[in-house]
């Protein structure tokens, strides 16, 4: 019976991790260039049960569930016009580069602005990299999009704030479009449905744990009252 508690608890932990991912996606449903995550689960190996008296096989028993892997959906999303000349979007493949305190990071979020020096920066004040690693100069509220560097990124890994790390492999094949932003990769309707399904699974698992706990309490309290 205790194994049932462990199995149910592992399912709850897996669903909690899934809900954290879904909640983060929903929070970024309107973040330009955000890439949604996909979480898959796996079950632990089955345990074969056998009859203790004659050794005959009873059947398999699962040993719980766990998060298998988390993948980021990197597909380009549709662009939306903003009319703001410092809003940039990548048409096709490629990432903007920004110089942060932790090193160069890469992003598809082109919601940029100008700093006090007249250089193009992101929302965190990090300098946007131009061709050759030079700053991108803002003149009269506009920029020359050909001066903005686009990087071909391999094995991108999320680092927060829509930024990625990875292996930059030279100039990307995409182009920079001014006055537009790439939409978020989150489908709010799908994320809400997945979140509701995860919550229902969590509730079912909680009921299973409550049932097992009640059964154990009744067993421990009644064993002592048995005759003999």
The structural domains of the chain, with segments of one domain joined by +, span 2-74+186-223, 79-182
Three-state DSSP class for residue 157: strand
Q: Going by C-beta distance under 8 Å and a sequence separation of 6 or more, which residues neighbour residue 7? A: 62, 63, 64
Residue found by looking up tokens 């949604």 in the block: 36
Burial of 43 from C-beta contacts in 10 A (0-12 / 13-18 / 19+): middle
Is residue 89 within 8 A of residue 174, CB to CB? The reply is no
49-58, 84-93, 208-217: which has the minimum mean pLDDT?
49-58
User: What's the rounded mean pLDDT across residues 133-151?
Assistant: 94
Which stretches does DSSP call E strand in 149-217?
Answer: 150-160, 163-171, 175-178, 180-182
Query: For the chain, how big is the Rg over CA atoms in Å?
Result: 26
Predicted TM-score of the model (pTM): 0.76
| Model confidence at 64: pLDDT above 60 | yes
Interval 201-207 mean pLDDT: 87
Taking Cα atoms as reference points, which of 19, 33, 3, 57 lies closest to residue 182?
33
Is 143's pLDDT higher than 90? yes
pLDDT recorded at residue 90? 95
How many Å apart are CA 175 and CA 149, to the nearest integer? 10
pLDDT at 76: 92
Least confident of 51-65, 105-119, 131-145, 166-180: 51-65
Would residue 176 be called left, alpha or beta, if left means φ above 0 and alpha means ψ between -120 and 50 degrees? beta
Predicted pLDDT at 57: 65
pLDDT band of residue 184 (cuts 50, 70, 90) is very high
pLDDT at 174: 92
């Amino acid at each position: 019976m205790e194994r049932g508690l462990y199995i149910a608890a592992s399912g709850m932990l897996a669903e909690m991790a899934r809900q954290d991912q879904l909640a983060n996606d929903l929070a970024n449903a309107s973040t330009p260039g955000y890439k949604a995550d996909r979480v898959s689960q796996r079950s632990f190996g089955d345990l074969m049960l056998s009859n203790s008296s004659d050794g005959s096989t009873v059947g398999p028993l699962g040993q719980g569930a766990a998060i298998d892997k988390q993948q980021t959906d990197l597909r380009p999303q549709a662009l939306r016009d903003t009319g703001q000349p410092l809003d940039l979007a990548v048409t096709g493949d490629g990432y903007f580069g920004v110089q942060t305190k932790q090193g160069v990071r890469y992003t598809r979020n082109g919601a940029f602005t100008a700093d006090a020096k007249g250089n193009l920066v992101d929302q965190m004040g990090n300098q946007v990299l131009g061709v050759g690693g030079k700053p991108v100069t803002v003149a009269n509220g506009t920029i020359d999009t050909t001066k903005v560097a686009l990087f071909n990124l391999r094995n991108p890994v999320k680092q927060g704030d829509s930024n990625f790390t990875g292996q930059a492999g030279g100039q990307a094949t995409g182009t920079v479009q001014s006055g537009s932003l790439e939409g978020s990769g989150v489908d709010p309707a799908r994320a809400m449905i997945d979140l509701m399904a995860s919550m229902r699974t969590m509730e079912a698992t909680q009921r299973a744990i409550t049932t097992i706990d009640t059964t154990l309490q009744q067993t421990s309290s009644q064993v002592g009252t048995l005759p003999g």
